[in-house]
Structure 1
Amino acid sequence: MKILRITSSPRKEYSKSIKLGAAIIEKLLAAHPGASVKHKDLTASPFPHLEEVHLKGFYTPVEYRLPGYDEAVRHSDEAIAEIKEADVLVIEAPLYNLTISSTLKAWIDHIVRNDITFRHTPDGDVGLLTGKKVYVAVTAGYIYSEGPGKAKDFVRPLLQAILGMLGITDVTFIMAEGLSVPGVKETAFQKALDSIKI
Structure 2
Amino acid sequence: MNILFVNCCIRGEASRTMGLCRAALEEIRAKYPDAAIQELCLDQEEICPLHSDTLARRNALEHQKDFSDPMFRYAQQFAEAEIVVVGAPYWEYQFPALLRCYIEHISVNGVTFAYGEDGRPHGLGKGERLFYITTAGGPILDRNCGFDYLKTLLSNMMGFTKLDYVAAECTDVIGYPVEEELQKAEARLREQIRNWD
TM-score normalised over the length of structure 2? 0.84
Partner of 1:60: 60
- Do residues 180 (structure 1) and 175 (structure 2) align? no
Question: Match for 1:29: what amino acid?
Answer: R
Partner of 1:191: 184
Q: Give the distance between the partners of 1:124 and 1:63, measured in 2 at CA.
A: 18
Asked if 1 retains the 8 angstrom alpha-carbon contact of 2:133 and 2:166, the reply is yes
TM-score normalised over the length of structure 1? 0.84
Partner of 2:135: 139
Asked if 1 retains the 8 angstrom alpha-carbon contact of 2:135 and 2:169, the reply is yes
For 1:170-191, what per-residue CA distance to the aligned partner results, in whole angstroms no more than 9, with x for missing partners?
1120111121223342411111
Secondary structure of the structure 1 residue equivalent to 2:152: helix
Percent identity reads 24
**Correspondence for 2:105 among 110, 113, 116:** 110
Secondary structure of the structure 2 residue equivalent to 1:155: helix
Q: Give the distance between the partners of 2:33 and 2:20, measured in 1 at CA.
A: 20
- Do residues 78 (structure 1) and 68 (structure 2) align? no
Task: Give 5+ residue unaligned stretches, structure 2.
Answer: none
Shift of residue 74 of structure 1? 2.0
Partner of 1:93: 88
Q: Give the distance between the partners of 1:42 and 1:163, measured in 2 at CA.
A: 19
After TM superposition, the structure 1 stretch with the greater mean CA deviation from structure 2, 180-189 or 45-54, is 180-189
Aligned Cα RMSD in Å?
Answer: 2.4
Asked if 2 retains the 8 angstrom alpha-carbon contact of 1:129 and 1:168, the reply is no
Compared CA separation, residues 102 and 60, structure 1 to 2 (3 A): same
Question: Match for 1:128: what amino acid?
Answer: L
Shift of residue 90 of structure 1? 1.1
Asked if 1 retains the 8 angstrom alpha-carbon contact of 2:80 and 2:126, the reply is no
After TM superposition, the structure 1 stretch with the greater mean CA deviation from structure 2, 133-142 or 55-64, is 55-64
Asked if 2 retains the 8 angstrom alpha-carbon contact of 1:20 and 1:193, the reply is yes
* Aligned pairs, number: 188
Compared CA separation, residues 48 and 97, structure 1 to 2 (3 A): same
Q: Give the distance between the partners of 1:84 and 1:70, measured in 2 at CA.
A: 13
Asked if 1 retains the 8 angstrom alpha-carbon contact of 2:114 and 2:121, the reply is yes
Shift of residue 115 of structure 1? 3.6
Secondary structure of the structure 2 residue equivalent to 1:178: coil
